[in-house]
Amino acid sequence: MKNETDKVIDKVLSGMDWDVIFEVNNCFKHGIGDGVSVIPGVKRKSFADGVTKNDLRNELKSLLKYVIVNNIAELVYGYWMIFWNNPIWTEEYLDEIRDEMSADGEDLMGDIILDPTLEVIYSPQRMYIIANNIKAQTEVENTDSHALDKMLNKALDDEKFELAAKIRDVINLQKDQK
């Protein structure tokens, strides 16, 4: 597995456009090791200390080794997003499907060979926003009074006059508070 891992990492590293990554990194003045957790092999280096292409490459190489060796499906570290799909996980799922299909007497799947997939995204700038909205107080009051009116009508229709009287009292209290 180690040899396969090194091949996958080398393919990713050779496929990256390091000139563009370096220029963008300089434009945003990012350092190395800007993630929130400590990853073995990633050494912190501020932009002021002079970040090189080799520093960026070594950072990614350390992150890739960490992800693959520890079988981490997703890692967001600093400006890198890494998605790893280990074929062993998919093989286990396919084995379950093969077992179900062989119980039916059919072998439609055949021998499928899965290769590992590794996706790397360099994203120097991201934004994540959650907009939590609070209902206006008038909306809540309208909803409450509407619900009470429905309850009152239902109680009257079911001829539950004691319950209807209590609900009417609550409605009157609510009107008095306004």
Residues 49 and 113 in one domain: yes
Instruction: Verify that 84 and 167 share a domain, yes or no.
Output: no
Q: Is the dihedral of CA 50, 54, 57, 59 positive or negative?
A: negative
Q: Residue 173: give the domain boundaries.
A: 137-177
| Contacts of 67 by beta carbon, 8 Å cutoff, 6+ apart | 75, 82, 84, 118
| pLDDT tens per residue, range 130-139 | 666 665 555 5
Q: What pTM was estimated for this model as a whole?
A: 0.58
Q: How far is CA 62 from the centre of its chain?
A: 22
> 31-71 pLDDT, tens per residue?
888 777 888 888 888 888 889 999 999 999 999 999 988 88
Q: Are residues 90 and 32 in the same domain?
A: yes
Judgement on whether residues 79 and 30 belong to the same structural domain of the protein: yes
Count of domains in the chain?
2
Tell whether 145 and 173 lie within a shared domain.
yes
Q: Is 158 helix (H, G, I), strand (E, B) or coil?
A: coil
pLDDT in tens, 64-75: 999 988 888 899
